[in-house]
A and B are shown apart, each in its own frame.
Chain A
Amino acid sequence: MIKMLTACGAGVNSSHQIKDAVETEMKNRGYDVSVNAQMIKDVNPDMMKGVQIFLPINHPDLGFDISIPEIDAGAILYRMPAMAKPVYDKIEEEIKKIQ
């Protein structure tokens, strides 16, 4: 199981959409993943423990450094396959490196 974390300003809409989309697409591609959706202001080093890929909407200032791969997932929000595919491909690439 690959653990990812996504975050947006309110933790209500965008991050949950990214969570649902990435979990569905990666499952379709044959990977076992789980994505945690959070408010950016709640993300702290403790929450990042065990997370293997970070999927923000745009490079946010978390107030601390992270050492895991970060992939901007904002393009997924458009719900247009041509925009989402490059993001999914990058995620798959990182998953392959981890496995």
Chain B
Amino acid sequence: MSETAIESLFDPKIVYVSSGTTRQEVFEEVSNDLVAKGYVKDTFLDNLNSREDAYPTGMDLSVVGSQYPNVAIPHTEANFVYKRRIVPVKLENPIEFHNMIEPSKTMSVRFLFMILNNDPEGQANVLAEIMDFLTQTPWDRLSHMFESDSAEEIYNFLRDNFDEK
């Protein structure tokens, strides 16, 4: 890996397993930690919530396979974050999100790939890489990540299986 040139999109310090029961609760828990660790500005949470309300980010993965849990890719505008990272958040309780492609529809989500992106023009597209990972990793492997309740295991899986361009 060429990590000396390009920083990895994943960071073991910001992988979460959340027991929150509402979207607001999970967003707040993760945002507070990201602010404390210096990854995002303290206005991150407000923008995250207002953006999710206006432009939802739920991705219905049943089109990939009926066994796939749905995910969401919450994110803010570029100027609310300091780094380019993917923040994985396993949800112990399913949480309702609206569908990005059909916002009037809701879905039950089990995993977040929160995107911190301060450089939309740079490098490969982060969302495209997430979708490639989800649609191209064989389900018998990917299912281990979705089933895990350990942040360390989730990080290790992503480090070993997520192809960073």
The residues of A with any CB-CB pair to B shorter than 8 Å are 8-14, 16-17, 20-21, 37, 39-40, 57-58, 72, 74-75, 77-80, 83
Contact = CB atoms under 8 A, between A and B. Distances in A.
B143 interface: no
A80 B64 contact: yes
- B54, B73, B102, B120 — which one has the most chain A CB atoms within 10 A of its CB? B120
27 contacts: A9-B55, A10-B51, A10-B55, A11-B78, A11-B120, A12-B120, A13-B73, A13-B75, A13-B117, A16-B120, A16-B127, A17-B125, A17-B128, A20-B128, A40-B55, A58-B100, A58-B101, A58-B103, A74-B100, A77-B59, A77-B101, A78-B59, A78-B135, A79-B128, A79-B131, A79-B135, A80-B63
Contacts of B55: 8-10, 40
Interface residues of B, number: 26
Contacts of A20: 125, 128
Contacts of B120: 11-13, 16, 37
A11 to B, nearest CB: 7
Contacts of B100: 14, 57-58, 74, 77
A13 B127 contact: yes
Interface string B111-134: 000010100110001111001100
B74 to A, nearest CB: 10
Nearest to A74: B101
Nearest to A39: B77
Contacts of B117: 12-13
A10 B101 contact: no
Contacts of A74: 100-101
B13 to A, nearest CB: 22
Contacts of A11: 77-78, 120
A76 B54 CA distance: 21
Contact of B131 (A12, A16, A58, A77): A77
A86 to B, nearest CB: 13
A57 B127 CA distance: 14
Given A10-B76, A12-B78, A13-B75, 20 more contacts: A8-B55, A9-B54, A9-B55, A12-B76, A12-B77, A13-B115, A13-B120, A16-B125, A16-B127, A20-B125, A20-B128, A37-B120, A57-B100, A58-B100, A58-B102, A74-B100, A77-B131, A78-B131, A78-B135, A79-B135
Nearest to A78: B131
